[in-house]
Structure 1
Amino acid sequence: MEDIRFSKKEEIIFLISVSFFWFAQYVYIPYQTIYLTYINVGTSFIGIIVGAYGISQMLLRLPVGLSADIVRRHKYFIMVGGLSSGLASLFRILLPNGVGFLIANLFSGLASAMWISFMVFYTGHFSKEEQQSATARVVMFNNLGMLMGFVASTLFYNTITMKGICVLSVAGGLMTLLLSLNIKEDVPTKGEYNVGDLISICANKRLLLFSFIALIQQGVQLTTSMSFTNQVLSDLGASNTLIGISSIIYMISSVIFSALSSRNVFKGGPKVLIPSVLIIIAIYCILVPTVGSIPIIMLLQILPGTSSGILFACATSEAMKEVKPFQKSTAMGFFQAFYAIGMTVFPMMTGKLASSFNMSVGYFALAGIAILGCLIAVCFYKIENESNIDNVV
């Protein structure tokens, strides 16, 4: 399917379905930790609930990627994603407690495991030279869906409560399912490669390294700007509306940086952008628990927008550079399963450190991990550059 273009209508419908999907997945997120704290769920268990979202992704994404490469039909996986995202919030409605949210987050993780097919299906319609901008574009609509969710929850949470917010999530999942019915794919030819051929890509050093960079990015993002930063604001006395506005600031920043990245505005390429954004993430993690000011923390929410808007697109395109077309879904499955480890472990680690010490300790640990990622990226690009010089000589 590579190099086959969308019609403009097909591309617009698909990108709208991407936004509805992530709306369904994240509309409840700004108030998840607030709601769970309100119903007396402990901080450690909240960390487990948030981390559960990553557990099912971690377990399912590689098998989903392998299956997609074998079946060569992404439409069905995208439909399952829409259905699962709606089903997850149905659990939140029927079981509005810690256990219900734990089960729901496992289903949300199942839905997000299908993101592999969204990504591979979309980027497969663009040339090799267009992959980074195409990745940034689909990530922009991903972030736009999250932004729509955050705006909706901020406007309506105080009136329709968590139950009503979850009803909106169910509706978003159903819209994704309905729009995915319009997806057109060629009838696949019989596969020429066995499972061994497909899974061999998982040993690729470049894929492994940038999967680790994405692990840091996704783990820190989910743990801080999408979860515990809201709790920090609440502890300082911020109202539900201010907490929602804080999340909106973060998502607007993400959408803007994604849009700029898709247009290749930032100079220097991944070798400059990846280390720079990791340092920005570390600064964010150091400042949020220490400044003690609601307005400053809300302003700081701009910083993680660079993470989801720039770093994730760069890490994804860099990870896929040496992947052959027939292995693309498997490689994407491995990539997404690997970074799901961060989405699972980081919230649990931060929740445990916050319970045992305080929130600052958890955030400082995340800052240290981001700095480690920066050093690894710098070393990688230095070695790669020296190798390229030697090859020229």
Structure 2
Amino acid sequence: MNVQKINIAGKKDHIIFLTVIFCFWFSIYIYVPIFGVYLEHLQFDYSLVGIIFGSYGITQILIRLPLGVLSDYLGQMRKGMLIAGFFMAFASGILFLFFQSFIPIFIARLLSGITASMWVMATTLYAQYFTESQSSKAMGILQFMTVVSQFISMAISGKIVEWFGWEMPFLIGTVMALIGLILSFRIKEIGDKVNLIDFKYMSQLKYVLGIKPLWGISALSLAGHGILFMTIFGFTPVYVSKIGFSESVFFWVVTSFFIPHAAASLLLAYFPVRKQKQLLLLSFILSGLFHLLLPLSNSILWICFMHIFIGFWLGFIFPLLLAMVIQSCQEAYRTTAMGFYQSFYAIGIFTGPMLAGFIADHIGFYEVFLATGLLAFAAAFLSLFIPSSRMERKAERISS
């Protein structure tokens, strides 16, 4: 497969792209903190709530890898697929606005999962704005904008419900999807023009599946996303509501999580680390510890205090793993590798909330946080066995 590098990204291109990313996550995260409580309000039990939460991951498992391979096959389709993701977010918002029964809500969540699947396009499109040696910076900036968007949208959702009712977050998300759709047509594509004659689907896939570090990196991300969608993106708001706090309190919990989460991503963007695996190990261990401590008190101050540390240490994990994926393979195979990575971690998005819902229904909420902590410790143990990436091995040779 022949790949030709073209064009350069200017400041305006970065601003447009990052604005699109802001709209991308805002459109499907504006309702996340109140979603479980909303479903509880609709009389769904926790097992059904877990299934609906998990459905967000089903479409991602099914389509992220094929999308990654297809994108490497037809590089010019990456922008179009990202645009299609905004269409799905818009349709999802319409369903949430007008239906309150299980099947339409389930379908709406599936559609939002299709939107999230297009993240593979966003990461590879933005990575082309940087050199390979700047991959940590690229993913740190992208992760920072992701966190900012998710933070703002999730922080205001509780107040929006309190002031305007349950439907308003879904309406705002639908409008943001429309804005993102319009702006996404102005994204500048840089980098790969693929010679289709040279491309072979199976050889592309076989190469990527043979990248040994990629399997371990993806498994760690599966665990990390399972942690997120069991707790802050899943049942933590339900737990806070269950112990007697109103939706307006979600602002403080979300703020406590996302400000340090964003700070960690920003630190990685401008202060890259060489010892990536050691930082991963530490981050998983400490995030697991603070999840175990979280339910020891029903004080909102304690819950927020724990989320400061949980958010900070989880904030290192995802940009590190994204950078490690990019560093693990040649540029021509990155989108396929990213598709595999994101499809694999979507298993955590699917199974994590379902497991949490089952545990909450049949055992209790304390055990949800216990399971989350144990999952983090298991990921920490697994991180000890991740092979070094090409960039890490190169850095080790230079330093020696």
Q: Give me the TM-score of the superposition, normalised by structure 1.
A: 0.93
1:371 to 371, 377, 388: 377
1:159 to 149, 159, 163: 163
- Equivalent residue, structure 2, for 1:129: 133
Query: Would you say 1:208 and 2:209 are equivalent positions?
Result: no
Q: Which residue of 1 aligns with 2:315?
A: 309
Q: Distance in 2 between matches of 1:53 and 1:35?
A: 16
Distance 1:220 1:4 in 2: 39
Q: Which residue of 1 aligns with 2:193?
A: 188
Q: Which residue of 35, 50, 53 maps to 1:50? A: 53
The 1-side partners of 2:396 and 2:167 are apart by 59
User: For residue 69 of structure 1, what is the aligned residue in structure 2?
Assistant: 72
Report the Cα distance in structure 2 between the residues aligned to 1:2 and 1:296, rounded to whole angstroms.
51
CA distance in 2, matches of 1:291, 1:379: 35
Q: CA 1:239 to 1:38, structure 2 compared with 1: closer, same or farther past 3 Å?
A: same
Unaligned runs of 5+ in 1: none
Residue among 214, 225, 231 paired with 1:224? 231
- Which residue type is aligned with residue 258 of structure 1? S
- For residues 367-392 of structure 1, the C-alpha deviation after alignment (integer angstroms, 9 at most, x for no partner) is 11211111121243699999x999x9
Report SS of the residue matched to 1:295.
helix
Task: Say if 1:3 and 1:127, in contact at 8 Å, map to a contact too.
Answer: no
Q: 1:389 to 1:225 in 2, by over 3 A?
A: closer
Query: Would you say the 8 A contact 2:56–2:109 is kept in 1?
Result: yes
Per-residue deviation, residues 133-181 of structure 1 (Å, max 9, x unmatched): 1101011111111122123313321122221110100011111111111
Deviation by residue 1:219-242 (Cα, 9 ceiling, x = unmatched): 111210122111111121111111
Instruction: Assess if the C-alpha contact under 8 Å between 2:151 and 2:255 holds in 1.
Output: yes
Aligned AA (1:306): F
Q: Which residue of 1 aligns with 2:154?
A: 150
CA offsets per residue over residues 22-67 of structure 1, 9 Å max, x none? 0001000010011111121100000001000011101110111111
Alignment counterpart, residue 84 of structure 1, candidates 66, 76, 88: 88
In the alignment, the residues of structure 2 paired with residue 13 and residue 109 of structure 1 have an alpha-carbon distance, to the nearest angstrom, of 23
How far 1:284 moved relative to its partner?
Answer: 2.5
Question: Structure 2: which amino acid aligns with 1:169?
Answer: G
Counterpart of 1:250 in structure 2 is 257
Distance across 2 between alignment mates of 1:313 and 1:336 = 13
1:41 and 2:44 correspond: yes
| Residue identity opposite 1:220 in structure 2 | I
From 262, 279, 294, the equivalent of 1:273 is 279
- Give aligned pairs, total: 390
Partner of residue 7 from structure 1, selected from 7, 10, 14? 10
| TM-score, normalised by the number of residues in structure 2 | 0.92
Structure 2 residue matching 1:380: 3-state secondary structure = coil
The offset of 1:190, in angstroms, is: 2.5
For 2:295 and 2:155, locate their aligned partners in 1 and report how far apart those are by CA, in whole Å: 24
Match of 2:293 among 280, 287, 294: 287
Paired residues of 1:61 and 1:334 also in contact (CA < 8 A): yes
Q: Read off the aligned partner of 2:94 and give its amino acid letter.
A: L
Q: Distance in 2 between matches of 1:68 and 1:380?
A: 27
Give per-residue Cα distances to partners, 1:224-277, cap 9 Å, x unaligned: 012211111112111111123211322222222211121116x56312210111
User: AA paired with 1:207?
Assistant: L
Q: Deviations over 1:293-347 (max 9, x none)?
A: 2211122112232355210011111123221211111110000000000010111
Contact 1:276 1:374 in 2 (8 A): yes
Q: 1:262 aligns with which of 269, 291, 307?
A: 269
Aligned twin of 1:138: 142
Deviation at 1:2, TM superposition (A): 5.8
Aligned-partner Cα distance in 2 for 1:304–1:348: 21
Superposed displacement of residue 188, structure 1? 3.3
How much does 1:124 deviate? 1.4
Work out the CA distance in 2 between the residues paired with 1:376 and 1:156: 41
Describe the shift of the 1:71–1:335 C-alpha distance in structure 2 as closer, same or farther (beyond 3 A): same
Are 1:352 and 2:358 an aligned pair? Answer: yes
1:328 corresponding residue in structure 2 = 334
Separation in structure 2 between the aligned mates of residue 92 and residue 245 of structure 1, nearest angstrom: 25
The one-letter code matched in structure 2 to 1:166 is F
Quote how far apart the aligned CAs of 1:208 are.
Answer: 0.4
Q: CA deviation at 1:4?
A: 5.2
SS at match of 1:301: helix
- C-alpha RMSD of matched pairs (Å): 2.4
Helix, strand or coil: the match of 1:30?
A: helix
Letter in 2 for 1:54: G
1:233 equivalent to 2:237? Answer no
- CA–CA distance in structure 1, aligned partners of residues 201 and 389 of structure 2: 32
| Equivalent position amino acid for 1:226 in 2 | F
**Counterpart for residue 28 of structure 2:** 25
Paired letter, 2:24: F
Query: For the Cα contact (< 8 Å) 2:213–2:389, is it kept in 1?
Result: no
Q: How does 1:86-105 map to 2 (within 5 A)?
A: 86-105=90-109
What one-letter code is carried by the residue in structure 2 that aligns with 1:368?
A: L
